[in-house]
Chain A
Amino acid sequence: MALQTSAAISFANLQSEFGGSHPITMGEYASHRVSGSGNTISMNQFYGASSNETQTVTVGSYYDGAAYISTTSYGYSSDSNSYGSISDGTLGVAGNKTIQLLAWNNINIVTLRVAGVASNSGWTTMTVNGTAFSRASASFYSNGTASTAWQWLTITTNPFGTSGTKQVVFT
């Protein structure tokens, strides 16, 4: 539930909405502000802020014929075989990590991959264009310091579709 849009917001309100533990540091909540920027943080900058985070994916596609298993992917990737686009592409719920891959492929895998090390926490559900994917049901993979990925297997319906702009909401 979003924070109120008037009256005083407490530290406890921030912690309740966005998580975290004591001691509270304001910096950890800075990315959740709906107004203002910089190092000076005012509580009214959190009016209406929500722990929900929305990424907007303009769906691209890529046919990978290079592997023994050829696949077609739909969504967004910044890998060398890049396709689609994303805004803003920084996943706040995963510690402000850059999204490298957010896509479904036709061997029925949905993948969310971010750069660097992220923990398997901070959000509970990723909803792609209305289809919910529970973090708890994902396989989680951290490849050293390079990247971190969540994968959902046996997803037979492409939640991204083949084109257009789709909302991906993290709660």
Chain B
Amino acid sequence: MSRVYTTRTDGDDGYICYLKDGRYFEIPAITDEDEIQDNLDSVLVSAVLSNYDLQQCHDDVYVNQDVVRQDYTLGTEEGALILEELKQEFPSYVNYERSEFNFVGKYDGYREPYQNSSISFYDFGASPSESLLLNFNTSYLASNLKHWYGLKFDLVSKEVLLKVVILDYDGSKPALPKEDRAYKTFYARTHAQDGTEADWIDAYVFATPRRIKDFCAAQGLDYPLFDNTHKECDVVWCWGLVFHKDTLEYGAVKAYARHNE
């Protein structure tokens, strides 16, 4: 799918002009059509990323045209309710309220390794502590850790999973969507309390729906969104591609659509 755009010149300078839903974009003119579309992708992604309320928002997580999870900031009504349940079920596992930007979500198991009704917790602005990593019998180079991590609390089995978010994954990877010029692809590995690691790796990609839809079609994967929604980069700003670390088989393709409350 290619966007239709116009061009304009201003003296010696040329521009590609793109208008969508009241938002107007210009990028420096170039001749390569693929590069034009990629650069429009970048500016669209960047515009979306700079336009949300950090404390009052939620993510809709789509898999195969279904909302499988909703994650809320703690300051939202829904987030506060989930936080209370989390504090009751798993009191003081970590300081859940360390950051006002933290997210929580409640969901049913929809893919490996998530089996039961669970609560997800995301601690933003902090890497997992050494003691937390030790609890899961794992360690990472601090320089490869991103400044957030996730915990998955199984409300039935009472098991806890640690999702460690890393800048790069040093194992083999399947083909992944082209990386955005500014927003680099990153990864997550999931650890259980018994010291085992999940076979499935998450790769997170910032991209427009256009790029992911093309990628899914090329790889024979289920595109997570409906055909008639989010055609342009209005809210979807992050995509998760799950793959098996040994076979490199693809798992779910997730779309994280962030909305202000």
Contact = CB atoms under 8 A, between A and B. Distances in A.
Interface of A: 63-70, 80-81, 107-109, 111, 120-121, 135-144, 149, 151, 153-154
Given A136-B13, A137-B28, A151 B46 contact: yes
Interface residues of B, number: 38
B contact patch SS: mixed
A151 B124 contact: no
B29 to A, nearest CB: 9
Given A65-B125, A65-B147, A139 B10 contact: no
A137 B46 CA distance: 16
A111 B46 CA distance: 11
Contacts of A67: 49, 54, 124
B182 A109 contact: yes
Nearest to A136: B13
B101 interface: yes
Contacts of B206: 69
A1 B43 CA distance: 34
Given A120-B15, A154-B182, A65 B124 contact: yes
A131 to B, nearest CB: 18
Interface centre among A111, A121, A136, A137 (most CB of B within 10 A): A136
Interface centre among B125, B126, B206 (most CB of A within 10 A): B125
B47 A141 contact: yes
Nearest to A145: B22
Given A65-B126, A107-B184, A154-B181, 6 more contacts: A68-B238, A70-B124, A136-B28, A138-B28, A143-B23, A149-B50
B23 A144 contact: yes
Contacts of B47: 141, 143, 149
A153 B41 CA distance: 13
B43 to A, nearest CB: 4
16 contacts: A66-B55, A67-B54, A70-B146, A80-B54, A107-B184, A111-B50, A120-B26, A136-B28, A139-B39, A139-B43, A140-B26, A141-B23, A141-B43, A141-B47, A151-B46, A153-B182
